[in-house]
Structure 1
């Protein structure tokens, strides 16, 4: 058995026996993320909106490219390689959902840096109205940007759905996928380091309660309630900051291959390659995708592990679900 056939067999095995459970866990996990971050205590937080948007984008990503690769590995049939409409639609949704996922990660990193800043003027940029505008703008931008996939992708020889080799679009696609992989990676890494620096130099605000006299009891009660609300809000912010910091670290680790390899492919695209080298390149691409999908499937476990607030809201959600099921059976 040649190296090329061995790598092809290994890729098929990974797609069947590894990607299938990853797909199921990823869908259920991201649906749970949406449910938890939509709860009243968390949905008022600006960063929760980014987490919800990213979970939706990851579900779309799983159901387009992840699911189709599992089906192809199990059946050996690629419907996108037989129908040009499906071919164009699949790459359009893939570019859209992957780009949106990466952008939400960038926005999460920037938002955590803003909230950890020592200057109040900077922290004011993390407002619900601005976050909503950025989410809508991101959705619209990637919808428009991804149209190039509908235009450029074709069914080539051997029922392969891809950019025609040697065409101007193939070069454009190689450049854009390289840039769209590296730029988010750099943004996420930079703002994560800046946030770490802010957290390291963070000084806890000492809350000094005003002196109380008999005539000021009503004012004291209002002040204490306000301070309690501020402390609770700060704790939720800190929990989300822990989630976002660890999340971007995991992304940097798992997405390293999918970030660097497009640049390598573009730089070596004009060089002659043997059959074994082409098989190695294809195996690296599949491995990079598997690592990327592993990351998107692990977010639920990451949130549960890191955040006490997330675990508490998850438990409350499960209790509500159990009560609802009991009522339904009565």
Structure 2
């Protein structure tokens, strides 16, 4: 007889693969549709939707890499730093594009003509690179203050102050001892 614990372990193990196999094709189709259809290309929201779709694909790829046991993030210091950095950057970029898309839809329906001017392809082209630049700069401390921490050599923070601040927003599965017991957790630390 199968226990509930075994079922939960199986779901925990296979869930990321299922999300990856559904999420990546969906995000890529989303980007292809918005780029391919001429009507959508004339909308300023297309820039933000395509940017979010590509960021979502990147997030799913990084999460899948973290789950695979042969990934060198727990072996190489550079891989550890880059994995955490790119995970933080891509998640932040995806959320930024979601917010920009919502702002664009709000601006195009505004009663004010000045606000409606913010919903244009010209503005979208200028705003599009800002999330990439902003979040790459904001997340540089992950490259500096994250490394393999002994005795378990888990990829985690090396600076106490950055750990107290960084864990407020950090989504991680670095507490996994093997791929079968991984679950994603939002770590929240009271810094008072």
- By the TM > 0.5 criterion, same fold? yes
Q: TM-score, normalised by structure 1?
A: 0.48
Partner of 1:38: 35
Q: TM-score, normalised by structure 2?
A: 0.81
Cα deviation per residue 1:247-270 (whole Å; 9 max; x = unaligned)?
A: xxxxxxxxxx97xx54xx212x79
Partner of 2:56: 58
Runs of 4+ residues over 4 Å off in structure 1: 9-12
Cα offset for 1:10? Answer: 6.6
Residues 1:134 and 2:132 are matched in the alignment: no
Cα offset for 1:174? Answer: 2.4
SS at match of 1:57: helix
SS at match of 2:119: coil
Q: Give the whole-Å Cα distance in 1 for the aligned partners of 2:74 and 2:64.
A: 15
Partner of 2:164: 171
Cα offset for 1:130? Answer: 1.1
Partner of 2:176: none
Q: Out of 90, 103, 115, which is 1:97 matched to?
A: 90
Q: Out of 145, 153, 157, which is 1:159 matched to?
A: 153
Q: Out of 6, 21, 46, which is 2:18 matched to?
A: 21
Q: Give the whole-Å Cα distance in 1 for the aligned partners of 2:85 and 2:58.
A: 12
Q: Give the whole-Å Cα distance in 2 for the aligned partners of 1:151 and 1:16.
A: 31
Q: Is residue 92–residue 147 contact of structure 1 (8 Å, CA) maintained in 2?
A: yes
Q: Where does the alignment leave 5 or more consecutive residues of structure 2 unmatched? A: 171-183
Q: Is residue 54–residue 104 contact of structure 1 (8 Å, CA) maintained in 2?
A: yes
Cα offset for 1:127? Answer: 1.4
Q: Give the whole-Å Cα distance in 1 for the aligned partners of 2:28 and 2:118.
A: 29
Please say which structure displays the higher CA radius of gyration: 1
More strand by share: 2
Q: Where does the alignment leave 5 or more consecutive residues of structure 1 unmatched? A: 1-5, 179-256, 271-330
> Pairwise mapping of residues 208-287 of structure 1 onto structure 2 (< 5 A)?
262=187, 265-267=188-190
SS at match of 1:150: helix
